[in-house]
Structure formats: C-alpha cells, structure tokens
Amino acid sequence: MSTITDAEFGRFQRFIYDAAGITLTPAKKAMVSGRLSKRLRELQLDTFMDYVELLDSGKAAREVQFAVDLLTTNETYFFREPKHFDLLRRLADEAAARPQAFRVWSAACSTGEECYSIAMVLADRLGDSNWEVVGSDISARVVQRARFGHYPLSRAQHMPVPYMKRFCLKGTGEQQGTLLVDRELRKRVNFSLVNLNTDLPRMGLFDVIFLRNVMIYFNGDTKRQVVARVLTMLRPGGYFCIGHSESLHDINTSVEQVAPSIYRKG
Ligand SMILES: C[S@@+](CC[C@H](N)C(=O)[O-])C[C@H]1O[C@@H](n2cnc3c(N)ncnc32)[C@H](O)[C@@H]1O
C-alpha cells in the first residue's frame, strides 16, 4: 500500500470535520495513515482514496462509524485533573439535603474512566440514591468499552486508595494488572452515543457538565457551536468543567469563570 497523498489526506480532513467537527492539522498526516492502514488491508482496498470514496458514498454507515472510531483520540484515565473532583465533592455535600437528584454529564467521556471517577465521588458523598451520571461520546467503540468498565490498572494511578478498595475489583490470574468497576457502580452510569457536533438528544438539565479535552480538536467555529449547545443542558447555577489546556477566552457564553477551567452559569 502506498503512503497517503496530500489529496487523500485532504479528503479525510473533510470527512472527519463533517462527521465530528474535528480539525486534523497537516501534522496529523502520519497518524491518519498509521491508523487507517490496517483497515484498508482488512477491506482489501488498494488506496486511501478507495477508502474515503467508500466513506463518502453514503452507503456505508457502519464503516463511517468505524472510521470515526479510528480517527478520534481517546486518551483518558481515572481522576484526571483532580481539582474538578474536589469541586464535585463540595457540590455533592451541598446537594445532599435537597430533594431533586444531583445530575452530572461527561460529554466526551471516551472509555468511561471520567464517568466512573465522578460516580465514585457521588456514591461516596451521597450514598446509593439521588444522583445520576450520564456519559456520552461520538465513538461507538469507546462507549462499548465504557459499559464494560474493565481497565488496565495503570489508568488508576490517581484513584484514591479507599475508592479503589470500595468500588473496584482487582483482577487475578489471567486478569492480573486489570480492574473491574464494581457492578453496582456500573449500573449507576448511563452511557450513550452522542455527537456534540449535531443537535443534542433530550437528556434534561445537569448540575455539572464535564467537557474536557475534546475542544482541542475543534476549530473556533465548531468550539463556539458545541459549547453553546452543551450549555443549554446546564441548569442555572450549574458548573461547567473544561480541560486545563483549554479555554473559553474567545467565546461569548452564558457562564462565568470561577477558577481556572471551571465556569458557572448565571
Ligand atoms: C481525549 S478524549 C477525552 C476524554 C475525557 N473527557 C478526558 O478528559 O479524559 C476526547 C474524546 O472526545 C470524543 N469526541 C471527539 N469529537 C466528538 C464529538 N463531535 N462528539 C462527541 N465526542 C467527541 C472522542 O471520541 C474522544 O473519546
């Protein structure tokens, strides 16, 4: 198989921009070529152009999902950016006395570590009831892995030890070096496939929304549209957490910054 040409790369840039709002810079050419080569071989296609033509044909919806899975970057781990979990602890304590459920949405949740980290904090502070965690992502592959809740232990280096003991089963034998999130906790997190770049499904209002480490893949326009869409799901007074390397500086929003990477809706 030949290396990817500029024209082919241009077509994949357009494809993933239209599908997910993701902007692939020219620096990502080798990554795209590396990630797609195996799929071309599996489909016995000779060129990257053949593959992108298939994706653009409108007749290969499953393959489009497969390509989106391959072209998204899903790095994540438990208790990433811990300050947001300190905020959650405080908010959960404040919500303990109120009648309505405390609801959190992880809007680009990848393989689910973020959602289970949130769920551990809420189960710890609020007990068995009156809270809800929703996790969503555009990639079907990661959403499926999130539902399994089975991870390499290396992803849990930042998990507080008492949470590990209380909410995880450590693998033995063949499963050595892995952890399984406890079934009861898994049942408390609802995962779904949601593309933030299109109209959102009805999910009700949330007290806290995590939109972390996904805006870095969007250009200014897409970022503005996604943030506006996501913030319609935040209740007044609710909190919005973004990745530490991201910002809302160039965006007019209904939220006000209260700490680095933490915003609150008025
Ligand atoms: C680097 S991961 C971030 C995971 C987690 N939020 C964290 O901070 O650790 C970025 C995720 O965004 C997802 N993503 C990219 N474009 C998306 C879109 N348009 N809609 C929903 N999810 C998207 C990717 O599939 C990927 O799983």
Q: Is the CB of 115 under 6 A from ligand 1?
A: no
137 included as an active-site residue: yes
Q: State if residue 197 touches ligand 1 by the CB under 6 angstroms criterion.
A: yes
Contact 121, 160 (CB under 8 A): no
Please choose from 16, 110, 223 the residue to mutate so as to test ligand 1's pocket, defined by most ligand atoms within 8 A of CB.
110
150 — phi, psi (to 5°)? -115, 125
pLDDT at 200 exceeding the cut of 90: yes
pLDDT value for 129? 83
Instruction: From residue 12, give the alpha-carbon distance in Å to each of 34, 71, 207.
Output: 13, 9, 37
Q: How confident is the model at residue 1 (pLDDT cuts 50, 70, 90)?
A: low
128 catalytic residue (yes or no):
no
Catalytic residue among 69, 103, 125, 137: 137
Q: What whole-number distance in Å separates Cα of residue 227 and Cα of residue 240?
A: 10
The pLDDT value given to residue 77: 98
pLDDT at 22 over 80: yes
Distance 110 CA to ligand 1 centre (A): 6
Question: Tens of pLDDT along 40-91?
Answer: 999 999 999 999 999 999 999 999 999 999 999 999 999 999 999 999 999 9
pLDDT (tens digit per residue) in 135-187: 999 999 999 999 999 999 999 999 999 999 999 999 999 999 999 999 999 99
